């Protein structure tokens, strides 16, 4: 490719938006708009003739290099497939507390974990791993949370009693956290 075509390729690649021809011409003070157009054609052809996964496209606002449409779907699916969503340590800890101590209210979880768990509860709920299972008696009648069938499914368990060390952990978690 010509030096100008290479420069245009690098510039289009690194620009956050499509670039109009006039701006591309500013890259090289010696290059006329016609020369820029010719170099763009050269770049387009290099992608088309040599067989590339990308192509040069003229969008409304200017030129950009885009991936060819036939690859888009494979890419997006693959990205999701290999990056399964992992729960954060905070989510796992909260989930563990709920699993072993349900039904349990938010204040109690926060008492054990020592941090605000509002956001974590919301995301666990959105993922369908926990649900509201009732309301406690007393002031404000706070919501009580428990695990869902999906939670069991995730661990291939038939019922909660199959959770390992259930007795031991339930007892330990039931012990009141130390008053500070």
Partner 1 sequence: MTLLGSEPETPFVVELGQFSGPLDLLLSLIRDERVDIYDIPIARIADQFLARIRTMGLDQAADYLEMAARLLRIKAQMLLPRHDTDDAWEDPRAELVRRLLEYQQMREVVDVLERYAEDRRSRFARQYFPPSNVETPPAPLALSLAELLSAVDRVLRVVRDPAMHDVIPRALDVDGAIATIRGVLELRERARWRDVVRQGAERWEILSSLLALLELARRGELKLAQPSPFANVWIRRESPGQAA
Q: Does 82 engage in binding with its own copies (CB under 8 A)?
A: yes
The 38-67 site mask, x for binding its own copies (CB under 8 A), equals --------x---xxxxx----------x-x
First-to-last alpha carbon distance for the chain, in angstroms, is: 71
Closest CB 34 distance from partner 1, rounded Å: 25
- Looking at the Cβ atoms of 45 and 153, the one nearer to partner 1 is 153
Q: Nearest to residue 149, comparing CAs of 93, 85, 74, 99?
A: 99
Could you say which of 29, 30, 50, 89 contacts partner 1 (CB under 8 A)? 89
User: Is 132 a binder of partner 1 (CB under 8 A)?
Assistant: yes
- Please calculate the CA angle 8-31-53 and round it to the nearest 5 degrees: 20
Scan residues 109-168 and list those touching its own copies (CB under 8 A): none
Nearest residue (CB) to partner 1, 34 versus 68: 68
- If binding is defined by CB under 8 A, does position 158 make contact with partner 1? no
What are residue 66's DSSP bridge partners?
55
Is there a contact between 130 and 146 (Cβ–Cβ < 8 Å)? yes
Residue with tokens 């200017």: 62
Q: Is 143 in the site for partner 1 (CB under 8 A)?
A: yes
Q: What is the DSSP letter of 32?
A: -
Interior/surface letters 74-96, b for 16+ CB within 10 angstroms, e for the rest? eeeeeeeeeeeeeeeeebebbbe
* Contact partner at residue 26 from partner 1, its own copies, none, CB < 5 to 8 Å by partner kind: its own copies
State the number of CA atoms in the 13 A half-sphere of 75 facing the CB: 8
The window from 1-9, 22-30, 39-47, 119-127 that contacts partner 1 (CB under 8 A) reads 119-127
Interface contacts to its own copies, rule CB under 8 A: 1, 5-11, 13-16, 19, 22-24, 26-28, 46, 50-54, 65, 67-68, 71-72, 74-75, 77-83
């Amino acid at each position: 490719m010509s030096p100008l075509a290479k420069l245009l390729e690098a510039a289009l690649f690194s620009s956050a938006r499509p670039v109009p021809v006039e701006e591309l011409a500013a890259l090289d003070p010696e290059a006329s708009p016609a020369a820029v157009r010719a170099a763009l054609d050269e770049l387009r052809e290099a992608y088309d003739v040599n067989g590339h996964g990308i192509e040069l496209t003229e969008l409304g606002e200017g030129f950009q290099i885009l991936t060819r449409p036939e690859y888009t779907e494979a890419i997006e699916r693959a990205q999701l497939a290999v990056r399964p969503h992992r729960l954060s340590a905070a989510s796992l800890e909260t989930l563990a507390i709920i699993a072993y101590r349900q039904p349990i209210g938010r204040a109690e979880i926060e008492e054990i974990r020592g941090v605000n768990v509002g956001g974590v509860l919301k995301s666990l709920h959105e993922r369908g791993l926990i649900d509201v299972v009732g309301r406690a008696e007393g002031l404000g009648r706070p919501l009580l949370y428990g695990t869902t069938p999906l939670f069991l499914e995730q661990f291939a368990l038939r019922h909660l009693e199959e959770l390992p060390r259930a007795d031991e952990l339930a007892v330990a978690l039931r012990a009141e956290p130390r008053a500070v």
